[in-house]
Structure 1
Amino acid sequence: MRKAYLKKTLTYPGDTETITYQRKKTKGVRQAVFSQFTPEMVHHELKGEDCTCPDCHGQLTEIGSTVQRQELVFIPAQLKRIDHVQHAYKCQNCSEKNFNDKIIKTPVPKAPLAHSLGSASIIAHTIHQKFNLKVPNYRQEEDWNKLGLPITRKEIANWHIKSSQYYFEPIYDLLHEKLLEQPVLHADETSYRVLENDSQLTYYWTFLSGKHEEQGITLYHHDKGRSGLVVKEFLRDYNGYVHCDMLRQ
């Protein structure tokens, strides 16, 4: 972004006021953006009848080439099918010595969720869309169907729940243990409305490290209430200091 600087000179009656602008140079900024990406060369060459001189119609000889223009190209999202082929191998030596053949199969990575159309990349993208970009599941459902993947908003929600239980919950529990080892913590809660909930309001609690910790941890905890019992249950036998607002007993 270019910035304009205004320079104003002192004037006297009858004099002319002079205003000049000095623009900050952006040399190198454009090239720094392009340097982040691996280039794909597109060669524009003369071939066949085009590679002749327009005056004498003699054959043209290439004497060099240069990058004339650079651009960034947006590639829309697409789905690609990958078949994981498992190969099997037989040990001839073991098979000759034993009654049964010795068969060894190559290991194949398991799917993140069994019997599901959601691969790791698809599930990760739905999580990014939902929680980082705030795209609701019903809009994601429409986009995936346009790409040829017939999934429903209910399936997307189930992916998020199962992924949290299988992969994120152990990490959360480990961070919880590490957080309780720190001498100073902060805690606060905020109300949140949830559709189709038995109570009008629910609460999300935040527990985080003190600002002087080298490895800061921030954890979110959901509870229907906002009393001090929530803090006692979450912190268990914690012996440090907790900085928070006044809590309801």
Structure 2
Amino acid sequence: MTETEVTEIEVIEKKKVVRHQERKNSQGRAAFLDSLPQIEELTPLEDTQCPTCQHEMKKIGKRVNSREVELIPPQLRCINHCQETYKCQECEKKTGETVIKSSKTPQLLLPHSLVSGSILAEVANYKFNLAVPIHRQKKIWERLGLPVNKSSLVRSVISVSETYLEPLVNLMTKEIRKEPVVHMDETPIKVLDEPSQRGYLWVIRTTKEFSKYPIIQFNYRHGRKGKTVEELVGDDYRGIIECDDYVAYNEDKHEQIKFGACLVHIRRWFINIIKDSRKILKKSLAIQIVKRIGKIFEIERKR
């Protein structure tokens, strides 16, 4: 079998998508600048005397000479959450009773802490999205004048996670374990404090076809042990797990669980057979299976 034919099998049932190169928008910079809040800084003419006759000149207009984007550095400010208090004078006149009502102020994320919700959101963004360690963030906040140390920032992240996020994660886990079918996979991730500098993210998600809620959950584990499967879905799970052919997904180890084979991984085995067999016939079983799987993928793409 030729290399060209193998390539054709690999892309079988895939639609060809033609991407048209987008034209550069010459108005892009101007449009972006127009979308920002506008600040006008006027440079006055210091000498308004006519250089020819020395008479005072009259202003006839102004124009924008140049434009630039200005960054406003972050700043700290104190928000004083005040309550309005009302007293009923009518009740006091008639019965002598003092009736008082006060407005309710917002509940603080971390009462009596300098780390507010807006600060913690930025700490989490730096830490988890931009990979800036807490000890480096400490210097950022010190430059802004916030008197916090590394320990207080770490405690704040942990406290809010346990108070507000852990119940949400537990609810997601509860819903996942109700599902008749879930997807599961694991992938390595570099970790500095592991002996092998490697850990694993186990991903479990609900399906598009059978699920009430679209849930995707990432769970960190040190390794790829089979016990993680039951840790994620629970000991009494009786549903189906769609997965690859990794040994951890084994009905001998998890008798109550049914494991559904992933067609992408099945297809990969037959693609390897086709690649390794130079003289394979076009009507061979391997090629026919790849074609049939391709038709299934095409049906799924249309749903």
Question: Counterpart of 1:82?
Answer: 79
Task: For 2:41 and 2:210, locate their aligned partners in 1 and report how far apart those are by CA, in whole Å.
Answer: 51
Gaps of 5+ in 2: 1-22, 254-303
Alpha-carbon separation, structure 2, partners of 1:74 and 1:218: 36
The structure carrying a bigger strand percent of its residues is 1
Q: SS at the partner of 1:226?
A: coil
C-alpha distance in 2 between matches for 1:129 and 1:138: 11
Q: Distance in 2 between matches of 1:177 and 1:95?
A: 53
> Residue in 2 aligned with 1:98?
95
Deviations 1:207-237 (A, max 9, x none): 2345779975321223456322221232132
Residue identity matched to 2:241: Y
Greater helix fraction, Structure 1 or Structure 2: 2
Query: Hey, what's the Cα distance between the residues in 2 that align with 1:234 and 1:45?
Result: 69
| Superposed displacement of residue 102, structure 1 | 1.4
The aligned residue for residue 20 of structure 1 is: none
Aligned residues: 223
Task: Provide the C-alpha distance between the structure 2 equivalents of 1:30 and 1:212, rounded to a whole number of angstroms.
Answer: 44
Q: Distance in 2 between matches of 1:95 and 1:174?
A: 49
Q: Taking structure 2 as the reference length, what is the TM-score of the superposition?
A: 0.62
> Judging changes above 3 Å, is the alpha-carbon distance between structure 1 residues 128 and 63 closer, same or farther for their aligned structure 2 residues?
same
Q: 1:203 to 1:95 in 2, by over 3 A?
A: farther
- Does 2:160 match 1:163? yes
Q: After TM superposition, list the pairs within 5 Å mapping 1:110-189 onto structure 2.
A: 110-180=107-177, 181=179, 183-189=181-187
**How big is the shift at 1:112?**
0.4
TM-score by length of structure 1 reads: 0.73
- Give distance in 1, aligned partners of 2:56 and 2:170: 74
In structure 2, the partner of 1:42 is 41
1:206 aligns to 2:227 (yes or no): no
Q: Would the alpha carbon gap of residues 188 and 51 (structure 1) be closer, same or farther in structure 2, given more than 3 Å must change?
A: same
Q: In the alignment, what sits opposite 2:243?
A: 243
Name which structure has the greater RCO, CA cutoff 8 Å, separation 6+: 2
Structure 1 vs Structure 2 CA RMSD: 3.3
Aligned residues of 1:208 and 1:216 also touching (Cα < 8 A)? yes
Closer, same or farther: CA 230–75 of 1 in aligned 2, 3 Å:
same
Inter-CA distance 108–54: structure 2 relative to 1 (3 Å threshold): farther
Please name the residue that 1:30 is paired with: 29
Instruction: Give the conservation status (yes or no) of the 8 Å contact 1:192–1:204.
Output: no
Q: Flag structure 1 segments of 5+ consecutive residues without an equivalent.
A: 1-23
Q: Percent identity?
A: 30
Rate the CA distance shift 1:182–1:28 in 2: closer, same or farther, 3 A: farther
